[in-house]
């Protein structure tokens, strides 16, 4: 839910998340909890259809996509970094690998060169965080 708030995700999440949790035998979060998270985590992604500029999905991908948003959520303290992942490493270790990867740098440079767009305009991060209403 924290991720969906950060990207300005669809309210359909509540239906799908509730169904997934039910199938897993886990109690669903209340509407109040979802509202609390949405108030706590402002949208930091400017991509169609929820931003003033409305960058494309491809530009979001080149700006870093899901991993980049998760790096910002890490910096905000929203994640449990010692959680073990399917890679056999912790979430924190995976994010450190991503943060220092050549892949990340190459894609961000491509976005800048091809579209003349800075990745921090697409995924604004905490310093540029703003409400996109």
Tens-place pLDDT, residues 18-29: 888 889 999 888
pLDDT score recorded for residue 126 = 63
Cis peptide before 49 (omega within 30 of 0): yes
Q: Average of pLDDT values for 108-128? A: 89
pLDDT score recorded for residue 128 = 54
Which of 80, 120, 100, 118 minimizes the C-alpha distance to 129? 120
**Shared-domain flag, residues 36 and 55:** no
pLDDT of 131 > 50? The answer is no
Confidence of residue 44 (pLDDT cuts 50, 70, 90): very high
Overall number of domains in the chain:
2
**Shared-domain flag, residues 23 and 66:** no
Q: CB neighbours (10 Å) of residue 103?
A: 11
**Shared-domain flag, residues 54 and 88:** yes
- The answer to whether position 120 is within a domain reads yes
What mean pLDDT value characterizes the chain?
Answer: 89
Q: Average of pLDDT values for 52-72? A: 94
Q: CB neighbours (10 Å) of residue 105?
A: 10
| pTM of the predicted structure, to 2 decimals | 0.84
pLDDT score recorded for residue 14 = 80
pLDDT score recorded for residue 83 = 96
- The answer to whether position 132 is within a domain reads no
**Shared-domain flag, residues 91 and 57:** yes
């Amino acid at each position: 839910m924290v991720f969906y708030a950060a990207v300005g995700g669809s309210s359909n999440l509540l239906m799908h998340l509730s169904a997934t949790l039910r199938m897993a035998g886990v109690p669903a979060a209340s509407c109040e909890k979802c509202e609390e998270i949405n108030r706590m985590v402002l949208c930091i992604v400017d991509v169609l259809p929820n931003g003033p500029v409305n960058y494309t999905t491809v530009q979001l991908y080149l700006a870093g996509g899901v991993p980049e948003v998760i790096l910002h959520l890490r910096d905000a303290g929203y994640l449990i970094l010692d959680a073990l992942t399917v890679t056999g490493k912790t979430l924190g270790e995976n994010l450190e690998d991503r943060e220092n990867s050549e892949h990340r740098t190459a894609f961000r440079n491509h976005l800048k060169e091809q579209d003349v767009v800075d990745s921090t305009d697409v995924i604004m991060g905490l310093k540029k965080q703003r409400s996109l209403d």
